[in-house]
Amino acid sequence: MIGMGYVGSCLAATLVESGLEVTGVDKDEKTVSGLREGVSRFRDPGLPEMIAQGVDTGRLRFTTDYGAVSDSDVVLISVGTPTRDHGRLVDDQLRGCCEELARHLRPGQLVILKSTIPPGTTRRLVIPLLESGGLTCGEDFGLAFCPERLSQGAALDELRSLPVIVGGWCRESSSAAEEFWRRGLGAHVVSCSSPESAELAKLANNWWVDHNIALANELAQVCASFDVDVIEVIEATNSIPKGNGRVNILLPGVGVGGSCLTKDPWMLWRAARENGVDLEMISAARKVNDSMPELTARLILDELARAGRAPEEARVAVLGLAFKNDTGDLRETPVAPAVAYLRAAGVDVRLYDPLTEPTEVERIFGSTPCASLDAAVEGADCLALLAWHGEFRRIDFTLLRDKVAPNCAVVDGRAHLPVPAVESLREAGYSYRGIGR
Ligand X SMILES: NC(=O)c1ccc[n+]([C@@H]2O[C@H](COP(=O)([O-])OP(=O)(O)OC[C@H]3O[C@@H](n4cnc5c(N)ncnc54)[C@H](O)[C@@H]3O)[C@@H](O)[C@H]2O)c1
Determine how many CB atoms are found less than 10 A away from the CB of residue 66: 19
Each residue 10-39 as x (binds ligand X by CB under 6 A) or -, in order, gives: ---------------xxxx--x--------
The number of beta carbons lying within 10 Å of the beta carbon of residue 382 is 29
Which CB, 7 or 75, lies closer to ligand X? 7
The residues in 112-171 that bind ligand X, with binding defined as CB under 6 A, are 114-116, 148, 150, 152
**DSSP string of 354-392?**
TTS-HHHHHHHHSSPPPSSHHHHHTT-SEEEE-S--GGG
Query: What three-state secondary structure class fits 316?
Result: strand
Strands 431-434 and 409-412: parallel
Q: How far apart, in whole angstroms, are the C-alpha atoms of residue 123 and residue 101?
A: 16
> For the window 226-265, what string marks contact with ligand X as x by the rule CB under 6 A?
---------------------------------xx-----
| CB of residue 292 to ligand X, shortest distance in Å | 20
**290 contact partners, CB below 8 Å, separation of at least 6:** 255, 256
Q: How far is CA 264 from CA 117, 139, 203, 246, 418, in A?
A: 8, 32, 6, 25, 32
Rounded-to-integer distance, Cα 95 and Cα 97, Å: 5
Least separation in angstroms between CB 31 and ligand X: 5
Q: Which is nearer to ligand X, 79 or 282 (CB)?
A: 79
Phi, psi of 262 (to 5 degrees): -80, -15
CB of 247 to ligand X, least distance (A): 25
Q: Looking only at residues 371 through 400 of this chain, which bind ligand X when binding is defined by CB under 6 A? A: none
- Classify residue 421 as exposed, middle or buried by CB count within 10 Å of its CB (0-12, 13-18, 19+): middle
Q: Which is nearer to ligand X, 97 or 254 (CB)?
A: 97
Closest residue to ligand X, Cβ-based? 5
Q: What residues from 258 to 317 belong to the interface with ligand X (CB under 6 A)?
A: 259-260
Query: Shortest approach of ligand X to residue 77 CB, angstroms?
Result: 9
Range list of H helices, 162-263: 171-185, 195-225, 230-237
Handedness of CA 342, 230, 158, 202 (dihedral sign): negative
Indicate the residue among 48 and 138 with the shorter CB distance to ligand X: 48
Residue closer to ligand X (CB basis): 105 or 410: 105
2 near ligand X, judged by CB under 6 A = yes
- 80-109 residues in contact with ligand X (CB under 6 A) are 80-81, 93, 96-97
Among 3, 24, 168, 434, binds ligand X (CB under 6 A): 3
Where are the extended beta strands (E) located within 64-128? 74-77, 83-84, 88-89, 110-113
User: Are 142 and 109 in contact, with CB atoms under 8 Å apart?
Assistant: yes
Minimum distance of ligand X from residue 32's CB (angstroms): 9
- Of 25 and 223, nearer to ligand X (C-beta) is 25
Q: Minimum distance between the CB of residue 214 and ligand X, rounded to whole angstroms?
A: 19
Q: How far is the CB of 119 from ligand X (least distance, A)?
A: 14
| Minimal distance, residue 262 CB to ligand X, in Å | 10
- Of 23 and 152, nearer to ligand X (C-beta) is 152
Query: CB-wise, 173 or 259, nearer to ligand X?
Result: 259
Per-residue string for binding with ligand X, 51-80, x by CB under 6 A? ---------------------------xxx
Q: How far is the CB of 169 from ligand X (least distance, A)?
A: 19
Question: How far separated are the first and last CA of the chain, in Å rounded?
Answer: 45
In terms of residues, how long is the chain?
Answer: 437
- Paired strand residues for 174: none
Smallest distance from ligand X to CB 97, Å: 4
# of chain residues touching ligand X (CB under 6 A): 27
Give dist(CA 164, CA 25) in Å, integer.
23
Identity of the residue, 83 or 296, whose beta carbon is nearer to ligand X in the bound complex: 83
- Give the Cα separation of 110 and 186 in Å (integer): 18
Name the DSSP letter for residue 413. S
CB of 297 to ligand X, least distance (A): 26
In the complex with ligand X, the residue whose CB is nearer, 14 or 152, is 152
| Chain positions contacting ligand X, by CB under 6 A | 2-8, 25-28, 31, 78-81, 93, 96-97, 114-116, 148, 150, 152, 259-260
